[in-house]
Amino acid sequence: MVDFRSALASRLKPEAISAQGNAGVTINETLVVAMGQITGWADFETAAAPALSLLGVDGLGNYKTVQTGEDCVTYRTAPDRILIRHSEPEVLTKALAAVDRSIGTALELSHSRCCISLCGPSVEDLLSRVATLDFQIDAFPVGNFAQTDIHHVAVLIHRIASDHFDLLVPYTWAVSTFDFLSDNALCGGLHPGEKTQ
Amino acid sequence: MTSHRLPSGGRIDRSRQLTLYFDGRKIPAHPGDTLASAMLAAGESVVARSFKYHRPRGIYSAGVEEPNALVHLRSGERHEPNTRATMIEAFDGLTATGQNAWPNVRFDLSAANRLLAPFIHAGFYYKTFIGPFRGTGFWMFCERFIRKAAGMGTPTKEFDPDRYEKVNAHCDVLVIGAGPAGLAAALSAGRNGARVMLIEQDRELGGGLLSNSAGGASDPWRAAMIAELEAMANVRILIRATVFGAYDCGVFGIVERLWDHVSQPPELQPRQRYWQVRAKQTVMATGAIERPLVFGGNDKPGVMLAGAARTYLNRYGVLPGRRAVVATNNDSAYRVAIDLAEAGSEVTLTDTRPTPPADLAGEAKAAGATVLAGHGVLSADGRPKVKTARIAPVDANGCATGPARRVVCELIAVSAGWSPALHLWSQRQRKPVFEPSANCFLPIADARPELHIAGAALACPEAKAAARQGHAAGADAAKAAGFDKEAGTMPEPASDPSAAWTESPGTTWMFTDQSGKTKGPAFVDFQHDVGVSDIDQAHREGYTSVEHLKRYTTTGMATDQGKLGNVNALARMAELRGQTIPEVGTTSFRPPFTPVAIGALVGHTAGRHYQPTRLSPIHDWHVEGGAKLTQAGLWMRAWYYPQSGEDLRSAYIREAAHVRSAVGMVDVSTLGKIAVQGPDAAEFLNRIYVNGWKTLAIGRLRYGVMLREDGIVLDDGATARLGANDYFMSTTTANAAKVLAFAEQLLQTSWRDLKVHVTSETDNWAAIAVAGPQARALLTKVVDGCDLSAAALPNNHWTHAMIAGVPLRIHRMSFSGELAYEVYIPSGYGHGIWQYLIEAGTEFDLAPYGTEAMGTLRIEKGHVAAPELDGRTTLGDLGLGGMASTKKPYIGSVTMQREGMVDPARPCLVGLVSEGSEGLKSGSILYALEVEAKGHGEGWISSTTYSPALGKNIALGFLTNGRARHGEAIQAVNFLQDHTDHVTVVSPHFYDPEGERQNG
């Protein structure tokens, strides 16, 4: 089988993916193992219920806070859509198959996104340079997510920890977004060794 | 040159010496100086030339309102024109030069312009640039010289080497200005727990308090406030930051000059930062700007705002004049006179009011000043700088009532009152109101619930009251933002020694002789050389509305933005109209409050980040494979793969020919890919496409065309049925986002009854088109789990397959006209599968081809693409009318029948074959052979190429009655290059019109 190739293969080398020195921000990639989407209409909750049950997720959730299950995070991206990120492709495939196609839809999207992880003490400062949202911890607590844009590219931003955000970026925009983020992080202390171009 | 630096005093660091340069001359300075204070200390009197008349100008103010001292700063790539010397912090090696003068500001040959003054008055350009001959030729000739003479500083054309950045910030309370009111507002809001941003344009906090003597009574209070604010985690303080714009929804634009105070920024650090702040509540503590007095020669070097003179004295330790005249109509200038006198200056104070406040007058006299009540300055005399002032008794209108006397002086410090700095408030689309008791325009305090105003911006008389007002405003703002704690008591500053300017101010603002005329040119707007006579002329010519006045005379425009020029111009117009200032009204202020570097607004979206770039999952292979890239929208695509020095033409001809003879492979990952899902998906497709979709079986795909609501073709592409309720739609690269948005809009508005969802899958799939006679053989070799024979997978069918262990889909369809397949691969494996095919294809002579060859192949085949789907063409124009179903409605089905849309004379798609050896040019206009090439012609060329299959230059185009004109010779005129080709009209299907090759 041919190798999977990250969208950021030209930017990140394995040996460089770590915080170095007192970098304000470490920019990294977290592999998206499996991702899918469930949509529906009036009976969306019913349509999604069997899948969510298999994933161990309690309900559809709201538009700001992620729902978590075993090895799984779901994002309510619209009233009738949820995006699911899972670390076990087979489990996700089963869950998507459980959707009743007369009242809902399921779509496998594992290769559609690249996950750029931003960690470090200056991560809020970096994000405030590239997106208009309020990233201070009180306004954007751990577990929250938001759909916004970074330099015109639609991204989903998920706060993993006080100093850690994951950005789900469309695969074909990943390099451009990565470059934009890293250039903006330089003044705040991105270690040059983490940039490999 | 005499030094005006006092031996002690000021807030400068005298322990360190800096050297600045102005026009090549060394200027000694200390940290804490500005360029203006250093030049003043060094006795540099003429620092600039005026805009129009090139009159010598000196330093007039000590802040952002400076109209005169605009200089070129730095040199080379960091050269910056029109910088205000009053705002440039001194740093060692600072280099500034005079501008708008030749050879220099001291001796400027352009000063001869003053002889032309009668001819270049206000609005002269409206009247001058006509005649003397018919047409505009003469003035177009003159334009080059006029342009050279116009303007002020000269920008560099070199690339700006500095970084800039944009930052977004959110706060509960934004406090603008860090004078007594601003400091107090930030403190009370901060104590309440609100997230506070305190913005100050100066390098230090304190506002007007910094103009008090160092070590004076206000300093301990200022220090205590700053210490407490800096200790608060919820308070962010920005210095060297100017709020330049106020916008809807609590959005403010701020430019922070991070490293303008050094020769160049540290590595990787931005020179300036553009903040976009979203504030729930705002306290505007923006202070006030002193107003000039108008009299003959009031623009000469040596005339200065009174408050500025005090600032230079107390903050920078510079005595601006050893003999000074202080001219005022209000109390505030008394403190200036007292401080100057106490510093050793010989001071004469004139007050237009017949009975000035006894206590202040007494204090001034006690300090050694001469106080002349009911007097004014008729003129400033001397060349190039002030040497004497002519002082005379004046009446309430400023008209001399007795003989004038000359007073020898180097400084005339003037104050006609103060104007609250309400620019930001006004930018929120409100007009201020004139308050006669304070003789100034004031904001309406409660005009907007999210805006609070405090301090001098509300004409608050002095520091203690301003601090109280600020404290209350900060608490109110915090409360409105949801923070309602007890802010505690706040220490109060000592009463500001600056006397209040709102206590019984006089209204006299201009001095004339007994005939009512000023003694010499008297200016209301120094920056634009707008004099009283210009206002008078505007009035005579009917430009009496303040809006007309502003535009006709340019008063208050550009960087001044009404800071100095406005009120006096309004006052003059009020006099001329026989009205009061409120009756005349005022104009609106607009952003920016102070000039903002374009670089700061651009921020980090420059250079390679001018726009985002989209890369195919296979992009890295193209780069490593030596492909030349081209932009397609925001995508970077492989254009062609040159071999051994090939140019574009050689490469694409070779690549296209190779596809026809063997097999080629092109990256088509950029195609739009949309999942259409739901029980009503077929009905949705039926409505959005012109052709029918209800009968499409699983495993098949179909070409479709969709129209806009006006009947014009929107896009085309193939859609595959993957399952009972699942379809995979492909669109053109150019229209992918447009189609998705259109579909989403229809589903969320017009077709809410349909159970359908559309989702972009463009990023989920890489796509490779494999085309050519050997395409099947190649793919058959590499696939597992499927039969690609013509019987098993005819054209317009798809199948699941496996290549190199990767599950994927193969769609049999052709854009090239050859036997062809599109391979859809999960994006993460796109690069690997491409490489795998390249290696496996060696025995089939597989070669990659780029977008140029792809275009050649589709033109030969007569397939339309973006150049033909240009937003003007109908189905009929494209020759696709037969696809339109007559059994169902669809988007555009009614509007496409409109009279103009079905006009048989509409230009329709044709093929064109050139008789010449040169290639045709897209955009060429088509004319019949025998007619003059003039006007819009009978059509146009949309796509061109050299066809290796035909061995000719060919094109697609649109021609009136084109289908009936096959075989006709016509002319194609390329007006841009003044070139005409003779072409023959043919069918657009140049190659394999029966489709035998693609269906084979």
Using the beta-carbon criterion (under 8 Å), do B806 and A81 form an inter-chain contact? no
Indicate if the pLDDT at residue A194 is higher than 60.
no
- Which burial class, exposed, middle or buried, applies to B785 when counting CB atoms under 10 A from its CB (0-12, 13-18, 19+)? exposed
Query: Residue A192: its pLDDT value, please?
Result: 40
Query: Residue B723: its pLDDT value, please?
Result: 97
Query: Which residues in chain B touch residue A4, judged by CB atoms under 8 angstroms apart?
Result: 828-829, 832
Comparing B505 with B502, which gets the higher pLDDT?
B505
User: How does residue A193 score in pLDDT terms, banded at 50, 70 and 90?
Assistant: very low
Q: How far is B169 from chain A (nearest CA, A)?
A: 7
Query: Which residues in chain A touch residue B605, judged by CB atoms under 8 angstroms apart?
Result: 151
Q: Summarize the confidence of residues B51-76 as an average pLDDT.
A: 95
Q: Which residue of B has its CA nearest to A32?
A: B828
d(CA A76, CA A145): 9
Indicate if the pLDDT at residue A18 is higher than 50.
no
Encoded tokens for B780: 């058959």
Query: Which residues in chain A touch residue B608, judged by CB atoms under 8 angstroms apart?
Result: 179
Strand partners, B721: B727
Share of chain B above pLDDT 90, in %: 86
CB neighbours of B532 closer than 8 A, spacing ≥ 6? B294, B510, B518, B522, B523, B524, B572
Query: Residue B111: its pLDDT value, please?
Result: 84
Single out the residue of B936, B923, B916 nearest to residue B981, CA to CA. Answer: B916
Indicate if the pLDDT at residue B278 is higher than 80.
yes
Q: Summarize the confidence of residues B11-17 as an average pLDDT.
A: 97
Q: Which residue of A has its CA nearest to B722?
A: A107
Indicate if the pLDDT at residue A197 is higher than 80.
no
Mean pLDDT of chain A: 91
3-state secondary structure of B463: helix
Q: How far is A2 from chain B (nearest CA, A)?
A: 5
Query: Residue B363: its pLDDT value, please?
Result: 95
Indicate if the pLDDT at residue B173 is higher than 80.
yes
Comparing B922 with B132, which gets the higher pLDDT?
B922
* Cβ atoms of residues A48 and A40 within 8 Å: yes
Which pTM does this prediction carry? 0.93
Instruction: Write the DSSP string, A143-176.
Output: TBEEEEEETTEEEEEEEEETTEEEEEEEGGGHHH
Indicate if the pLDDT at residue A16 is higher than 50.
no
**B829-849: b (≥16 Cβ within 10 Å) or e:** bbbbbbbbbeebbeebebbbb
- Residue type for B154, please? T
Alpha helices for B554-697 (secondary structure H): 566-577, 581-584, 598-602, 619-624, 648-661, 681-688
Q: Summarize the confidence of residues B937-964 as an average pLDDT.
A: 97
ipTM above 0.90, yes or no: yes
Q: pLDDT tens across B868-886, in order?
A: 999 999 999 999 999 999 9
Query: Residue B497: its pLDDT value, please?
Result: 54
Q: Summarize the confidence of residues B644-656 as an average pLDDT.
A: 96
Q: pLDDT tens across B828-841, in order?
A: 999 999 999 999 99
Mean pLDDT of chain B: 94
3-state secondary structure of B128: helix
Q: pLDDT tens across B365-382, in order?
A: 999 999 999 999 999 999
Q: pLDDT tens across B192-235, in order?
A: 999 999 999 999 999 999 999 999 999 999 999 999 999 999 99
Q: Tell me, rounded to whole angstroms, the distance of Cα A131 from its chain centroid.
A: 15
Share of chain B above pLDDT 70, in %: 99
Q: Summarize the confidence of residues B706-718 as an average pLDDT.
A: 97
Query: Residue B499: its pLDDT value, please?
Result: 57
Strand partners, B380: B389
Q: Which residue of B has its CA nearest to A35?
A: B764
Q: pLDDT tens across B901-932, in order?
A: 999 899 999 999 998 888 999 999 999 999 99
List Cβ<8 Å contacts ≥24 apart for B946-950: B946/B649, B946/B653, B946/B856, B946/B919, B947/B856, B947/B859, B947/B860, B947/B990, B947/B991, B948/B653, B948/B656, B948/B657, B948/B660, B948/B856, B949/B656, B949/B657, B949/B660, B949/B860, B949/B990, B949/B991, B950/B860, B950/B913, B950/B990, B950/B991
Q: Summarize the confidence of residues B462-472 as an average pLDDT.
A: 94
Q: Summarize the confidence of residues B520-540 as an average pLDDT.
A: 94
d(CA B565, CA B266): 39
CA distances from B769 to B487, B773, B825 (A): 70, 13, 11
Instruction: Write the DSSP string, B340-401.
Output: HHHTT-EEEEEESSSS--HHHHHHHHHHT-EEEETEEEEEEE-SSS--EEEEEEB-TTSBB-
Query: Which residues in chain B touch residue A110, judged by CB atoms under 8 angstroms apart?
Result: 764, 826, 828
Query: Residue A13: its pLDDT value, please?
Result: 62
* Alpha-carbon dihedral sign for residues B351, B355, B360, B365: positive
Indicate if the pLDDT at residue B6 is higher than 90.
yes
Helix, strand, coil percentages in chain B from 3-state DSSP, rounded to 5: 25, 30, 45
> In A, residues 54-93, which contact B (CB 8 Å cutoff)?
80-81
Indicate if the pLDDT at residue B127 is higher than 80.
no
CA distances from B656 to B640, B816, B909, B921 (A): 10, 9, 23, 19
Indicate if the pLDDT at residue B602 is higher than 80.
yes
The residue assigned the tokens 């003999």 is B323
Q: pLDDT tens across B282-328, in order?
A: 999 999 999 999 999 999 999 999 999 999 999 999 999 999 999 99
Indicate if the pLDDT at residue A7 is higher than 90.
yes
Share of chain A above pLDDT 70, in %: 90
User: How does residue B5 score in pLDDT terms, banded at 50, 70 and 90?
Assistant: very high
Residue B248, Cβ neighbours under 10 Å: how many?
A: 7
Comparing A150 with B141, which gets the higher pLDDT?
A150
- Residue type for B906, please? R
Query: Residue A15: its pLDDT value, please?
Result: 43
Indicate if the pLDDT at residue A19 is higher than 60.
no
